């Protein structure tokens, strides 16, 4: 049956700025999708990422190229073949989940055969900065249960020590965003272990992560840039203890669920992650929370303002329950 597809680039200012090893930004640029069928509306959102060769304009063009296919009744199964994993497919896939749930008078969680937790503990991200800047940010967030510390440039040992001193009782995970060198990794991992870091995310460039086989993992290591979708998942075994599942990488909830199941079968733990984006991106990812050991769905907390009817955050917890924004 005919589905009317429309999409647009939207911008959401970030509260302050967001800095990682690859640079800083002051706004989240997303592509929002709207699908209409028989009076029902399904919505989705994605974040094009330059690291993966995506731009907002190219993503919007890839989505709009499928207007005729959706007018002819494209299904989620059809979509998996029409586009590769990535941002464009994510927005469309999530919008189809939302549309299907609304047409069926149920929730996306029910369609997936899942019951999301009523309360979800999420990490809160501390941007890369000087040791003093990061310590100040960590002190302000020390009441939260889990902080994600952005590292990946010279001086990381001092940064991490300053953060741990400022938030002595808070659980920590570290994300180096491919910024460390194999020769420095054993020492940096030992420092992480000393600072009681639970997980180190993507310490080495994706093309250099073969070195992870040769070192002692004093802290569990999580793949992010090294894993996108189902293809290549088996190659991570022996290099990583965990993977970061992001819907913008998997190309939507459909493949993300398959990635999580396959990762579990391979003995890999799961982190559910996100780009800096609104609750329209977080709500589909929230369905993976029950399968994840670490949850990093703090995107809306980094914005000056979220979408209406967004998720409710309180002291590092995401409240459960239905939302009219996505998924029912």
Whether the Cβ atoms of residue 25 and residue 31 lie closer than 8 Å to each other: no
Angle at 297 between CA 292 and CA 302, to 5 degrees: 160
In angstroms, the CA 151 to CA 159 distance is 8
Helices (H) and strands (E) in the chain, counts: 11, 14
DSSP conformation class of 110: H
In angstroms, the CA 187 to CA 91 distance is 40
In angstroms, the CA 52 to CA 326 distance is 26
**Closest to 226 measured CA to CA, from 203, 247, 248:** 203
In angstroms, the CA 198 to CA 53 distance is 31
Which residues, in sequence order, are CB contacts of 188 under 8 Å at separation 6+?
Answer: 156, 157, 180, 203
What DSSP string describes 269-315? EEEE---S--HHHHHHHHTTGGG-SEE---GGGGBS---TT---EET
Q: CA gyration radius for the chain?
A: 19
Q: Measured in whole angstroms, how far is the alpha carbon of residue 4 from the centre of its chain?
A: 28
Q: Where are the alpha helices (DSSP H) in the chain?
A: 56-64, 67-71, 76-82, 87-104, 108-111, 131-140, 156-166, 185-194, 247-250, 253-265, 279-286
Residue 212 vs residues 97, 217, 244: alpha-carbon distances, Å? 37, 8, 17
- Active-site positions? 150, 246
Q: What is the largest CA-CA distance in the chain?
A: 59
């Amino acid at each position: 049956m005919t589905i009317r597809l429309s999409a647009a680039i939207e911008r959401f200012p970030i509260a302050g700025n967001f800095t990682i090893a690859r640079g800083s930004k002051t706004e989240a640029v997303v592509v929002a999708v709207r699908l209409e069928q028989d009076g029902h509306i399904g919505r989705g959102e994605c974040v094009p990422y330059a690291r993966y060769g995506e731009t907002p304009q190219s993503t919007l063009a890839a989505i709009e190229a499928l207007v005729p296919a959706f007018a002819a009744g494209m299904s989620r199964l059809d979509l998996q073949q029409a586009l590769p994993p990535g941002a464009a497919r994510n927005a469309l896939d999530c919008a189809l989940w939302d549309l299907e749930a609304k047409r069926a008078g149920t929730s996306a969680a029910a369609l997936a055969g899942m019951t999301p937790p009523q309360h979800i503990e999420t990490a809160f991200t501390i941007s890369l900065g000087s040791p003093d800047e990061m310590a100040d940010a960590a002190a302000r967030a020390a009441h939260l249960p889990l902080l994600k510390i952005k590292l990946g440039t010279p001086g990381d040992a001092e940064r991490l020590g300053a953060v741990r001193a400022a938030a002595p009782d808070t659980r920590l995970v570290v994300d180096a965003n491919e910024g460390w060198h194999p020769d420095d990794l054993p020492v940096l991992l030992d420092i992480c272990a000393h600072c009681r870091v639970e997980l180190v995310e993507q310490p080495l460039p994706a093309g250099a992560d073969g070195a992870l086989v040769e070192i002692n993992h004093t802290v569990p290591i999580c793949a992010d840039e090294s894993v996108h979708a189902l293809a290549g998942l088996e190659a991570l075994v022996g290099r990583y203890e965990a993977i970061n599942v992001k819907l913008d990488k998997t190309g939507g909830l459909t493949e993300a669920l398959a990635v999580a199941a396959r990762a579990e079968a391979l003995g890999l733990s799961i982190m559910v992650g996100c780009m800096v984006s609104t609750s329209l991106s977080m709500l589909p990812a929230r369905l993976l929370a029950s399968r994840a050991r670490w949850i990093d769905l703090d995107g809306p907390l980094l914005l000056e303002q979220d979408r209406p009817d967004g998720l409710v955050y309180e002291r590092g917890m995401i409240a459960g329950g239905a939302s009219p924004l996505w998924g029912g």
